[in-house]
Structure 1
C-alpha cells in the first residue's frame, strides 16, 4: 500500500492510485508481460523436447483410436516415465538460468528478489548433489513449469487478446476503407459503418489491457517472490548464522584482549609494584628505628604488598598464568583449592586441549563453583574433567538441595551462552532435594569459535 507519499513498489500498489494510467506502471506491466512471453517461449521449446516421448504417445493414442495402429501397453508405461525422468533430471538444470533471467525481469514490477541457494561444494558431482538437494532448486523448477504452462499463456492472452486484438478493432474502419476485409468470428466485415461499431469494443479492450497486465504482473511477482527467492526460514537461518559468527568473533577478540591485559598487568604494573616494594623495604631499613618516617614507610610497604596481592587476584581472574603456561590439568587444582567448599577433583587428560577450550572449561568450572558457594547450602562438590572421543567433558556435582533455575539470575545462562559460542553445550540436572549436576561438553578441536559457523 502506498503510504506517506512513498512511490508504489508493486503493480497492486499502483492500481490503487487514481492516475494509474498516467504513471509508468502500465508500460512496465506490459513490458513484463512481453518479456515473460519471450522467456516462456524459449523455456517451452526446451521443456517440449523433454516431453517428446509423451507427445509421441499422444499421437499413437490418436492413431489407435482411428484404427490405424494398435497401441502397446509397454508404450503407455515407458513413454510417460521417460518424459517424467527427463523432466526431473534436466528440468532443475534448465530452471537455474531461467530463474536468473526471471529475477531480472521481475525487477520491472517488483523490488529485487534475492536467491536462496546454498553455496555449491567444489567438484562437479558435489556441486550437482548440492543443487539437486537444495529446496530452492525445486522451487525454481516449479516456477519453470508455471512459467511454461500458466504465466506465458496468460501473458499471450493479455498482449494479443487485449492489446493486439483491441488495436485491430480500433483501426477496423481504416482497414476496411483501404480494402482489407476484417474476419470476425467466421464473419467478414467489409463496410465502414459496421466497422465503426467495432471501435468502442477495441477502445474498451485497449483500456482494459493495462489493468489486466498490472494484475497479471502482480500475481507473477508474488509467485516469483515465493518460488525464486529464499525461504523466510532460510533467510532467518542465514541471519542467525551471521549473528552467531559475529558473536564468536567478539569472543575471540575478547579472549585475545583479556590475554593482552593479563600480560600487561603481569609484566608491567605488577613488576613495577614489586620494584616499589623492594625500594620501600630498603628505605624502611635505612630509616631510624621507631621514628615516624620508619612507621610511614612500614605502612606504605605493607599496603603495597597488599596491592600486589590484590592485583594478583585480578590477574588470576582475568586469565591465570598457570592456565596459560601449564594448561587445564595444572590450573584446576589451584582453582579448587580456593573454593570455600571442599572439592573432590578428578582430571583425566592424556594431552593438553586447545587454548580456547581450556579457557572456556576453566571459567565454566570457576563459575559453577562460585554458583554453588553463592546459591546453595552444599557441603561437598565433585569436579571431573575427561575426554569422550573428540569432546572434552566437565561435570560439576554438588550435594545441595537442588532446584537450580537458570532464569533466576544464577549465572547459568551466561555460562551456557559462553559454551555455545565454541560449539559446545551445557546440560543441567537439578531435581528438588538434589543433587545438582552441571555437564559441559565442548568440541576438543583446534578450530577457533569464529571458524565454527
Structure 2
C-alpha cells in the first residue's frame, strides 16, 4: 500500500524508503519551515512593535488585529506545505463570511475559534518550531560538514561520526518532519465542534430530501390513481358501449376485443405501479404485512422472517420497504436464485435486516445502481448498508438502522 505520510514511509523497507521521494519532501518541508518561521518572526516583531507604539492613540489596535488575521495566511500556507509530508488533504475550517467586503470577512474570522488556534500555531511556529527545524537540519548536515572539513590524521573518529550522522539524515529529517506535521494538523484541522452546526444542517437537509421524495411519490400515486387510472376506466366503459352497438360477426368486434385486452393489461400494469408507489398495505398494516404481501407475489419463493414491533416510524418503514423491494427486484433480474430470505430483528435501539439469496453472486454495490441510491437513503437515516456477494454466491445485503424498538 502506498504510504500517505512521512511516518508511514519510514516504516517501509530501508531500500524502498531511501529510494523514494519522501526524504527529499521532508527536507523541503523543514527548509520551507525555516523560511516561513523566520518571515513570521520578522512580521510579528514589526507589527507588535508598531501596535504597542501606537496603542496610546488607539490606532495601534489595527496592527494588532492585522497580526491576528495574518495568522490565517500563515495557516493556509502551512496547510499547503503539509502536502509534502502528509498526502491527506487538510480542509479549511473557516466558513464563508457573513457578508461582502473586507470588514465582513475580518469580523467573521475574528469570531471563529479556528482563527485563534491558527494564531497560537503561528506564534508557536515563530517562537520554537522553525528553530527546531533549523536545529535538525544543522545537526543532520552541518555537523557532518564541519567534521569533514576539520578531519585530519588525529580527528578521523569525528569524521566517522559525521559520516554516521549524514547516513542517518534521511531518517532524522523525515522523523521530525512527520512529528511537526502531526503537530500542525492538531492545531489546523477543523474541530468536530465547529463542524457540528454544518453537520446538523446536512442531516436536516437529508431529512428534508427524504420527506420531499416521499411527498412527491404520494403525489404521483394520487395523480395516477385519480387521473390516468380513472381515464382508463372511462375508456373501458366507452369500449363496452361500442361493443353493444357492434355485431358479433363484424371485423370491428375483433379490433374491440384486442383493444379491451390491451386496455386490461395496461390497467393492470398501472394498478401494480400505483400499488408499488404507495402500497396501501404498508400504510394500513405496517412493514411486516407489506413485505409478506410483496413476497407472496414474487416470482421465486421468499421466506419472510420479520420480528418487529407493531409499527415503525413512517419514514423508516417506507425506506426499508423500498430497500427490500429494490433488492428483491435485483435478485429476480440478475441473480438466477431459486429462493430468497428476508430476516429482520430489532435489538434495543437498532433495526437489523438481512436479505439473502442462493444465486450466482458477484453483485457489486459500488458499480453504480439503484442500490447506491438506497444506500444513500439508509445513510440519511444514520444507518449503514453492506453487501457481500462472492462469485458463486450467496449474496447478503446487511442493513443496520438506528431505531427505538418498542
- TM superposition score normalised by structure 1: 0.49
Return the alpha-carbon distance in structure 2 between the equivalents of residues 271 and 150 of structure 1.
81
Check whether the contact 1:98–1:144 (CA below 8 A) recurs between aligned residues. yes
- 1:270–1:207: structure 2 CA closer, same or farther, 3 Å change rule? same
Check whether the contact 2:29–2:84 (CA below 8 A) recurs between aligned residues. yes
Check whether the contact 2:118–2:187 (CA below 8 A) recurs between aligned residues. yes
1:50 is matched with 47
Return the alpha-carbon distance in structure 1 between the equivalents of residues 180 and 310 of structure 2.
52
Check whether the contact 2:51–2:64 (CA below 8 A) recurs between aligned residues. no
Q: Work out which of the residue numbers 68, 75, 90 in structure 2 matches 1:92.
A: 68
Return the alpha-carbon distance in structure 2 between the equivalents of residues 417 and 46 of structure 1.
60
> How many angstroms does 1:16 deviate by?
2.6
1:404 is matched with none
CA deviation string 1:118-156 (max 9, x = no partner): 122222333222211222222222221121112101011
Q: Work out which of the residue numbers 88, 92, 97 in structure 2 matches 1:120.
A: 97
1:157 is matched with 135
Q: CA RMSD in A?
A: 4.5
Return the alpha-carbon distance in structure 1 between the equivalents of residues 93 and 211 of structure 2.
29
Check whether the contact 2:51–2:62 (CA below 8 A) recurs between aligned residues. no
Return the alpha-carbon distance in structure 1 between the equivalents of residues 59 and 169 of structure 2.
41
In the TM superposition, 1:176-255 aligns within 5 A as 192-234=152-194, 238=198, 241-242=201-202, 244-255=204-215
Check whether the contact 2:121–2:187 (CA below 8 A) recurs between aligned residues. yes
2:343 is matched with none
In the TM superposition, 1:219-368 aligns within 5 A as 219-234=179-194, 238=198, 241-242=201-202, 244-277=204-237, 280=240
> What runs of 5+ residues in structure 1 fail to find an aligned partner?
1-5, 57-77, 174-191, 288-299, 319-366, 372-406, 419-453
> How many angstroms does 1:23 deviate by?
3.5
Q: Work out which of the residue numbers 395, 414, 418 in structure 1 matches 2:315.
A: 414
Task: Give 1 or 2 for the bigger CA radius of gyration.
Answer: 1
- 1:212–1:51: structure 2 CA closer, same or farther, 3 Å change rule? farther
Check whether the contact 1:165–1:202 (CA below 8 A) recurs between aligned residues. yes
Return the alpha-carbon distance in structure 1 between the equivalents of residues 133 and 105 of structure 2.
35
2:8 is matched with 13
Return the alpha-carbon distance in structure 2 between the equivalents of residues 417 and 38 of structure 1.
59
1:385 is matched with none
Check whether the contact 2:140–2:166 (CA below 8 A) recurs between aligned residues. yes
CA deviation string 1:375-405 (max 9, x = no partner): xxxxxxxxxxxxxxxxxxxxxxxxxxxxxxx
2:370 is matched with none
> How many angstroms does 1:82 deviate by?
10
Q: Work out which of the residue numbers 118, 124, 144 in structure 2 matches 1:140.
A: 118
Return the alpha-carbon distance in structure 2 between the equivalents of residues 7 and 412 of structure 1.
45
- 1:242–1:195: structure 2 CA closer, same or farther, 3 Å change rule? same
Return the alpha-carbon distance in structure 2 between the equivalents of residues 156 and 86 of structure 1.
32
CA deviation string 1:192-238 (max 9, x = no partner): 43454431232233234333322221111112222222224555764
> How many angstroms does 1:263 deviate by?
2.6
Return the alpha-carbon distance in structure 2 between the equivalents of residues 17 and 274 of structure 1.
76
- 1:54–1:160: structure 2 CA closer, same or farther, 3 Å change rule? farther
1:36 is matched with 33
- 1:133–1:283: structure 2 CA closer, same or farther, 3 Å change rule? same
- 1:247–1:28: structure 2 CA closer, same or farther, 3 Å change rule? same
> What runs of 5+ residues in structure 2 fail to find an aligned partner?
248-259, 287-307, 320-406
